Amino acid sequence: MSQSPRPADEWVVTLYDDLRTLAHAHLRRERTGHTLSTTGLVNEAYLRLAQQHSLDGLGRAEFFSAASATMRRVLVDCARTRLRAKRGGGAESVPLEDVEAFLSVEEAEEFVALDEALERLRMVNPRGAEVVQCRFFAGLTLEDTAAALGVSAKTVQRDWLIARAWLTKEVAGDLAGFSDA
Amino acid sequence: MTRPDLNQTRWELLERLYWESLERSPQERAEYFAASGAAPDVVDEVNAMLSASEAGSAMRVERRFVSDEGPLLEGLAPGTLVGPYRLTELVGRGGMGEVYRARRADGELDLEVAVKLLRADARSDTLARRFIAERALLARLSHPNIASILDAGTSPDGRPYLVLRYVDGEPVTQYAARLDLTARLRLFLKVADAVQFAHTNLIIHRDLKPSNILVTNTGEPILLDFGIAKLMDDTGETVESERLLTPSHAAPEQLRGEPVTTATDVYGLGALLFEILAGTHPFATRTRSRSEMERDILDAPAPLTSAVATDGAMRARLRGDLDGIVQMALRKEPARRYSTAGQLAGDVQRYLAGLPVLARPDRWSYRAGRFVKRNRVAVTAAITLVLAMGVVLSREVVQSRRLLAERDRAVAEREAGEDVLAFVTDLFEQSDPRVVPGADTLRVGPFLTRAEARVAELKDQSERQMRLYRSLGNVRFSRGDYAVAESLLTLSVELGQKALGAEHLEVLRTRQNLADVRVDRHGPNAATAERDSVLRVLLRTVGRDHPDVSNAYARLSAVTTDADRARALLDTSIALQARSGRVDSVEIASMLDARAREHGTRAQPVQAAALEEAALRIVATRFPAQHATVLTVKGNLATWLNAAGQWERALSLAREVLDAATHLTTPGHALALAYERVALIVVNMPGRLALADSMSRAALRTMRGAVAPEHPLISSSMRNVAIIVAHQGRNADGLALLDSAIARARVSGDTSFWRYMTGQRVPMLIALGRNDEAVRSASFAREARAGLAQGSDRMALIDWHSGMAAMASGGADEATRLFSQVIEVDSRAERMTLSWWRLMMARCALGAALTQSGRVIEGRAQVEASCPALELWGRADSTVVAWGRRAGTGR
């Protein structure tokens, strides 16, 4: 990050727009009507990001990598909120009614299972886990993922295929009643 | 249950097993796992991963959050460039890949095409191989009713792609339902003809079904998807993957796993004809499950079309002949069907003409026997030709053996005389490397002589003679036997004019072939009038929208010397072609080649090279590497690269062409051009003058043996030798040679050309101190200037010679003016090496001229900026370098 520093507010504008696009990509297939507001999601993601990084000189690739991690947290938090709500939970960072409209219980369960499986995958195949994170949680295409991670699209495709196969199997197994070892 | 512990070792094992088994069948996987010795829980885990891969998006959240296009098959966004094609939209997905609608984006040809990309996840070589096989198969097929391949390449993300004609149409059965019986049959005949054409090219489609045959809004059926087509080979063996077949449309032998032959496509055509006539698939009516349908296809007799059709009037017309034709095509045993698509089509034609059809099951052999008796003479002559051809070809065209066997069988079955004739014509064309890629023409010579004698005996059959002479003439032409080709084609034209009339399309086509020969033998001017006349007749008789018309415009453009008119003709051709939607890869390549030539003559070699490169890619997918067309295009590319100053690459291409040309049986023309090209490239390269000399002499020697003496190539070839000789300092010898070249050019009557050549005397005359003569030659050459395009290469050279002459005779002001003009043209040309050197020469000469007219400071600046570079290059005109030195040092 050795580029000359740029005014922080300019970064804020850029990141905000980028994240908004990102959020729209996520919610594109949203049931119409009352949903978790994309602006809320963007704000959420941005605030988390801003706490963790100095944004001066942050490149687009790094941003997407960081944003996908952030979005993952946002969504998994939503999912946990949803599951707690099902069980009757406490105070939440995201308005509950939005989350209920946004995620079904089954989806929330999948998210949590996926999140955990992804951590297990990261231990043995960190790049594959990173690819999945970009694809799933930042909605990046193969090409964008390749650019963000600095590898070829072919590599991303290969990583994606096997990681996805393994994760799908893990998630299916979890939901069918595997217990954590 | 507990989850197995995932560690690095286990992951690597999972990865290896997963990739190794992904493309295998379940059976093969089981065997592979057993052989791998992997633990059962590992195998279970891999199997679970494989099912997860194959199930599509199993996770809800994946369906919801990962890209609209589906997780596995990443669609390319509209606007993406694949080669020169810009994708418009995704129109379909199949087992092998995605199909996009697209347009050419380079602005050279406005064409709508379909781009078929190999699936992004097709990691396995099996699919890629199949894809490339389709590409190779399609490359052989150019037929108006086949969605032929136009181009091929590799996408930015490394996937192979095919470019096909884009067909916007509806399934053939749906379209046919609106037609009356006759129109339905005519539609079917076009499909059968396309299939027969594929068979002639040794390709079996294997998956003929209504959804693979679309009818365009002009009513043309187009055969699509040769994805599982098969090339007939010596063994007839083929790896057939059952999953890829469409079971409801499979032939019995395909379900039985038996070899697939042309009879399989006859069955497919029979089922199609059934469906076109009766409105439903022969085995669809009473079938519920897939296994029941398969059983019916294998065992149940096909119903009669007349029994299935719903329309009463239609039923009455189907009863009898048409029922019989369909039944014969749908027989369970391949050997008892029509043996070719052409036979089936023949019967439909006979039905339409009110003639007795051959397909009356019980009376078949009797009828066929009678037919042969009636046509005994023709059949015997034709069979003799087939056999003679067979003997020659079986040694030469290995790929054709199987088809020949099938044809021999057809002959043995005493087929109709017309069909045999068609076979013979096809066989002739099989020794034509332009029709059958890879057909080696070695040893065909003696056969051709015999065949020509035989054809001469076919008196009273002038139509047949006409066609056979045309085929033979074209074969001779492609072998470089110009004189024989010219006389055979002339004979064919004369016969055709008598038998069919002067304005018959076939006669006009033969006249175009004859013009092709004349261009190569006598030069472009020998064909201009002929092509112009053919075009006029075509416009009057068939109208602008006929495919032959756009072709005729392009052909006329190629022999038109006036650059603007040639361009206009080419534009018309391309516009007509693009509008018609009928495009063929070779025609596209030839249009690109023509466009390249146009840029080349306008001193835009870089653009020319880019276009020629595109043309080369197309012809390289269509023909084998040694094919004359590939060599021509490659040679042209070398020429543009040379002009663009990319000498090393130009030279390596030119050498490839030369190598290939020396191996031709009758090399002639092509070899001469290849020598010449190498000479013209190395002459620009420092220290290679001796090579340039020997190459240019070889070119002249070869050219003399290949073309008629008055051909302009002979004089230009002599001129090249002359200039190279002069470059070596032997100006007197060079001048003598140049003068005899000029004398020849004068005989050929192209005034502009010999005036221009006279200008090339100037540097030699100046070097010999004959300055007055140089001035006269230069002013004589300037007369040719008027007819040339402003800013053209030739015009710049005429100015250059005039400037040199002026400078040598003391006219420094005039020289200044002329050199400035040259500089203007050369600086406008793309700044590539060769034009850069020419620019340097012009600046050096201009500097000398300025100095001489007293503008010393300006002059020296020009000289200092150019002369040292020229001395380093070592290939600049020595007179110019001497002027520069004098001006620079003030001596």
Q: Which of B151, B207, B321, B826 is catalytic?
A: B207
A89 to chain B, closest Cα gap in Å: 23
The answer to whether residues B509 and B498 touch, using CB atoms and an 8 Å cutoff, is no
Residue A74 has pLDDT above 80, yes or no: no
Set of chain A residues whose Cβ sits within 8 Å of the Cβ of B58 = 168, 172
DSSP assignment, residue B333? S
Banded pLDDT at B230 (limits 50, 70, 90) = low
> Which pLDDT does position A22 carry in this prediction?
52
Q: Does the beta carbon of B168 lie under 8 angstroms from any beta carbon of chain A?
A: no
One-letter amino acid identity for B133? Answer: A
Closest by CA to B437, choosing from B467, B397, B410, B480, is: B397
CA atoms within 13 A on the CB side of B869: 16
Region A62-68: mean pLDDT is 64
Q: For residue B408, indicate whether it is catalytic.
A: no
Question: Quick one: CA dihedral B644, B648, B652, B654, positive or negative?
Answer: positive
Neighbours of B531 (CB within 10 A): 26
Tell me which residue of B389, B434, B410, B411 sits closest to B201, measured CA to CA.
B434
pLDDT confidence of residue B817: 92
pLDDT value at position B405? 33
What is the DSSP-derived secondary structure letter of residue A140? -
Q: What pLDDT does B278 receive?
A: 87
Q: Which residue has the higher pLDDT, A56 or A28?
A: A56
B738 or A181, higher pLDDT: B738
| pLDDT over 80 (residue B683) | yes
Token pair recorded at residue A15: 């990141």
Mean pLDDT for B26-48 is 86
Angle A153-175/A105-124 helices, nearest 10 degrees?
120
Mean pLDDT of B754-761: 88
pLDDT at residue B244, as a whole number: 44
ipTM value for the complex: 0.78
B66/A135 Cβ within 8 A: yes
Q: Shortest CB distance from A165 goes to which of B18, B74, B123?
A: B18
Residue B44, chain A, CB below 8 Å: the answer is no
Inform me whether the pLDDT recorded for B643 exceeds 60: yes
Name the packing angle between helices B525-541 and B547-558 (round to 10°): 160
Among B463, B513, B509, B508, residue whose Cα is nearest residue B487: B513
Shortest distance, CA B191 to any CA of chain A (angstroms): 40
Q: For residues A52 and A50, give the distance between their C-alpha atoms in angstroms, rounded to a whole number.
A: 5
Is residue A28 pLDDT above 50, yes or no?
A: no
Residue that has been written with the tokens 């449309």 in this structure:
B249
Q: How far is CA A75 from the centre of its chain?
A: 6
Mean of the pLDDT values across residues A120-142?
A: 83
pLDDT for res B190: 93
Residue range B465-506, pLDDT digits in tens: 887 788 778 767 755 677 888 999 999 999 999 988 989 888
Q: Which residue has the higher pLDDT, B15 or B299?
A: B15
Which residues have a Cβ under 8 Å from the Cβ of B408 and sit 6 or more positions away? B386, B390
pLDDT at position B587, please? 65
Is B19 in the A-facing interface, judged by CB distances under 8 Å?
A: yes
Quickly state the pLDDT bin for B802 (edges 50, 70, 90): very high
Q: Tell me, what's the pLDDT at B473? A: 81
Identify the residue among B59, B68, B157 best suited for mutation to test binding to A, counting A beta carbons within 10 A and taking the highest: B59
Residues of chain B with pLDDT > 90, as a percent, come to: 13
- The pLDDT score that the predictor gives to residue A89 is 53
Chain A residues within 8 angstroms (CB to CB) of chain B: 26, 28-29, 75, 104, 106-107, 110-111, 114, 120-121, 123-125, 135-137, 139, 141-143, 153-154, 157-158, 161-162, 164-173, 177-181
Cα–Cα distance, B104 to B873 (Å, whole number): 41
Structure tokens at A26: 């996520």
Our CA-based measurement puts residue B70 at a distance from the nearest CA of chain A, in whole angstroms, of: 11
The pLDDT confidence band at residue B392, using thresholds 50, 70 and 90, is very low
Asked whether the beta carbons of B192 and B341 are under 8 A apart, the reply is yes
And the tokens for B176? 């046919």
Nearest chain B Cα distance for residue A147, angstroms: 13
Average pLDDT value for residue range B647-665: 82
- The pLDDT value recorded for residue B105 is 72
Which pLDDT belongs to residue B534? 94
User: Taking residues A85-94, what's their average pLDDT?
Assistant: 56
- CB–CB of B284/B247 below 8 Å? no
Predicted confidence band of residue A2 (pLDDT cuts 50, 70, 90): very low
Q: B65 vs A142: CB contact, 8 Å cut-off?
A: no
- B262-320 pLDDT, tens digit per residue, is 788 889 999 999 999 988 888 865 445 566 677 778 777 788 888 888 777 788 888 88
Contacts of B562 (CB under 8 A, 6+ apart): B787
Higher pLDDT: B506 or B238? It is B506
DSSP state of B142: -
Residue of A181, A72, A59 lying closest to A135 (CA atoms):
A72
Averaged confidence pLDDT in chain B: 75
The pLDDT assigned to B756 comes to: 86
Lowest mean pLDDT among B10-14, B85-89, B180-184, B812-816: B85-89
Q: Which of A158, A169, A179 to mutate to test the interface with B (most CBs of B within 10 A)?
A: A169
Task: Check: CB of residue B618 under 8 Å from CB of residue B656.
Answer: no
Residue-wise burial string across B230-239, b where 16 or more C-beta atoms lie within 10 A, e elsewhere: bebeeeeeee
Mean per-residue pLDDT, B158-179: 84
pLDDT above 60: residue B322: yes
Q: Which of residues B281 and B12 earns the better pLDDT score?
A: B12
Long-range contacts of B590-594 (CB under 8 A, 24+ apart): B590/B554, B590/B615, B591/B109, B591/B554, B592/B108, B592/B109, B592/B618, B593/B633, B593/B636, B594/B554, B594/B557, B594/B558, B594/B570
| Tokens encoding B760 | 């090339």
Got the DSSP string for B532-586? HHHHHHHHHHT-TTSHHHHHHHHHHHHT--SHHHHHHHHHHHHHHHHHHT---HH
> Which pLDDT belongs to residue B168?
80
What tens digit of pLDDT does each residue of B186-201 get? 999 999 988 887 776 6
A114 and B59 within 8 Å at the Cβ level: the answer is yes
